Amino acid sequence: MKKEDRQAKKQKVRIKPGRLARREAVTGLVFVSPWILGAAIFLVYTMGSSFWYALNNIRITPLGRLFSFVGVGNFTQILLVDTDFTPQLVSYITSTVLSVPIIVVFALIIAMLLNGNIKMKGFFRLIFFLPVIVVSGPVMGMLTEQGAATISTIDTQAIGSAIGSFLPTGIADAITDLFSSMITVLWYSGVQILIFLSALQKIDGAMYEAAQMDGGSGWECFWKITLPTIKPMILLNVVYTIVFISGNEQNSIITLIQDSMFSGTKEKGYGYASAMAWLYSLVVVLIVAVFAALLMARKDVYERQVRKAKRERKKEARLVKKIERRGIRNARKIEKARTKRKYSTYDGSGDY
């Protein structure tokens, strides 16, 4: 019986899905197929073509596109020769690292205010989300050119001089630029406010009532209930903000890539611009990875305690199973010893 049990455990029982399960699988595949097709055509194929372009020097002629393979020549020229890309990339990294926390924190504060018991909630939500719809594309460009999206230089000059006295020049300039474009930064927070607002509305109010009955203040409720609950939405908003800033038409690197794409020089062109885009994309991915690591590294205290308790229960369960298996083996050994002793004392006459 023991060998048969082992063989039965080794053999995997294969259960064929029923008709309803197959129908649901086919239906789900049909609904997902447009996304798969779109991703294959507009994402995978496009990225592959862009990477191939980055390895070539492309010239547009009346006969079509002429490719000349240069390998990593475009990348080395961008990093070692180009005098515009690297400084703008450093400026982009500094401004992004500074502006993303400000946008996310501002969106969280406004969402908490809009989630409170105030009159005309819908009107205020419309006010904070309306710039996302109106101020986009050409409208944003026109406002930026007219100076409506920035604070005047007189207001930020004192801030810049004060910050520059105790910080390096690069960081001080980035902070000054952030203050001068504060209006634009706050315009970018409409979607984040809605995401935070939806997350706050799903928190059970009984949790706050129980905390207040135990003597918890509003600040403690925020740190112990609100913040751990909406932590996944914080990461989502951070990723969304980085992607939005990186792909915004007001980004100087996007403008530089477009100018390189339509440049008539021999060194630049579609291949050179594709190499720039790939380097820029790698930097964006690294920034997202850094923010994700910072937000996902620190786990909630209660979550750690729950996981520790689960590990202890699993350990106890394994110990109990081990003891049970040992008891079964000992019982079998005792039974075999009894059977062996019984037959060894048997003399064939029916007497022992």
Domain limits of the chain? Answer: 80-298, 309-340
What is the secondary structure of 10-35 as a DSSP string? Answer: HSPPP----HHHHHHHHHHHHHHHHH
Q: Which pair of tokens denotes residue 80?
A: 């070692």
The answer to whether 107 touches 233, Cβ cutoff 8 Å, is: no
Which tens digit of pLDDT belongs to each residue from 94-116? Answer: 888 888 888 888 888 888 888 87
Q: What is the pLDDT of residue 152?
A: 55
Higher-confidence residue: 7 or 297? 297
Residues 144-200: tens digit of each pLDDT: 665 555 555 545 566 666 666 666 666 666 666 666 666 666 677 888 888 898 888
DSSP state of 299: P
* Pairwise CA distance, residues 75 & 88, whole Å: 16
Give residue 315's identity as a one-letter amino acid code. K
350 compared with 34, residue with greater pLDDT: 34
What CATH number does domain 80-298 carry, 1.25.40.20, 1.10.3720.10, 3.40.50.300, 3.30.70.141? 1.10.3720.10
Tens-digit pLDDT profile for residues 246-289: 887 778 888 888 888 887 677 788 888 899 999 999 999 999 99
Residues 6+ apart with CB under 8 A from 128: 110, 114, 189, 190, 193
CB atoms inside a 10 Å sphere around CB 230: 22
